[in-house]
Structure 1
Amino acid sequence: MRLRADATPTAPALVLRPWSPADAAELVELYRDEAMRRWTSSAVNDEAGAVQWIQDQQQGWETGHRFGFAIVESQPGGAEEQLAGHVVLKNVSPRASSAEVGYWTAAHARGRGVAPRSLEALTDWAFTVFSRDRLTRLELLHQVDNTASCRVAEKSWYELTTCLPAAPPAYPLAGHVHVRPRDL
């Protein structure tokens, strides 16, 4: 399964593909970024942790409840792909009309439209693949102080609909809920 997002004048095309065990070493390097560690709920501290995280992503595909994609920058001339982030469709259920999306972007890829382009590709895929399962809306949740995620949501047509109260320790700060309906 591969999804694509077109190149822009400032960034290469993106390929969204399932995570692979070969990504483990690069994933560890990406998780050394302090900003990413602040905004993500998982921690990858070493290669064993990266392997486990990737196995969790693969298990999500097998169960059909979570679909995590590695975001890679497609280099001209078939050069080696570089990991640029992660985008995920989660909490998928055949009986539910909604699911949740999430993402993170590697430090080197921020500010070049990687997150919104990837989120758009995932959104289109989700509404196409799961239309027969009654999927009619996607939700994006983030902490209120994550202004970059608010901008990504807005660029991707996810409307801010409500605020959630903090629920420590799992959610120490209040959060925003953005929603995108299938028929936009």
Structure 2
Amino acid sequence: MEKITARLTAAATPSAPALVLRPWTPADAAALVALDWDDALRRWTTATTDDEASATRWIGIQQEGWEAGHRFAFAVVESPSGDTEGRLAGHMVLKIVTPGIASAEVGYWTAAHARGRGVAPRALEALTEWAFTAFPGEELTRLELLHQEDNTASCRVAEKTRYALASILPASPPAHPHAGHVHVRTREI
């Protein structure tokens, strides 16, 4: 696969600045640690960063995914000026779960300070459009968004970005102690 690079944008709204989505870099480690890893973020994510060493390791994993061509992770930055500098607001990722299958998974989280201002839906829409453009034709036709059934905020984000509820996943403790939702968006032809 040829190397894919990307810088995605989402327009400002009357109440929130523009967003820039760009690959994570080692320079993001301090900002990642400084996020308010509140109870909600810790509940819905599988990994947290409590110090610069763990942040650097996590960023390294994101970079390795890009290099391998199976995990395309973006830092979401609030950027009033439209450049790549600004306040870290979240994370978006496209995961190619099974190479050769025309389906991929999207995931995200938002920092506490960014919630309730449309950051997740705007960033997810930018990621979705990019995914269907970066992987044309039959290479990628379906995106799946998975979340725990009781994560109502993720359900709202899915609805706002036209990811339809497709199925319910049963709980599978200990990794997934609660039932989950699978939302799907297909390439528009």
TMscore range, shorter length: over 0.9
CA contact (8 A) 1:165 1:175 kept: yes
Tell me the residue number matched to 1:46.
51
Flag the 1:46–1:164 CA change in 2: closer, same or farther, 3 A: same
1:12 aligns with 2:20: no
Alpha-carbon contact 1:141-1:175 (below 8 Å) kept: yes
Q: Name 1:58's counterpart in structure 2.
A: 63
The yes-or-no answer on 1:123 pairing with 2:153 is: no
SS at match of 1:86: strand
Report SS of the residue matched to 1:100: strand
User: Which residue of 68, 75, 82 maps to 1:70?
Assistant: 75
Distance (Å, rounded) in 2 between the aligned partners of 1:93 and 1:136: 13
Q: What is the TM-score of this pair, normalised by structure 2? A: 0.92
Question: Quick one: distance in 2 between partners of 1:77 and 1:157?
Answer: 26
Unpaired segments ≥5 residues, structure 2: 1-5
The amino acid across from 2:154 in the alignment is S
Q: Alpha carbon RMSD of aligned pairs, Å?
A: 1.7
Cα deviation, 1:144-183, whole Å, max 9, x if unaligned, reads: 0000000000000000011000011111100000000011
Quote the residue 1:21 is aligned against.
26
**Quick one: which of 161, 166, 169 aligns to 2:166?**
161
Quick check: 1:113 aligned with 2:115? no
Secondary structure at 2:58 match in 1: helix
TM-score normalised over the length of structure 1: 0.95
How far apart, in 1, do the equivalents of 2:8 and 2:159 lie? 21
Distance 1:163 1:44 in 2: 30
- Cα 1:81–1:166 change in 2 (3 A) is same
> Runs of 4 or more off by more than 6 Å in structure 1?
none
Deviation for aligned residue 1:32: 2.5
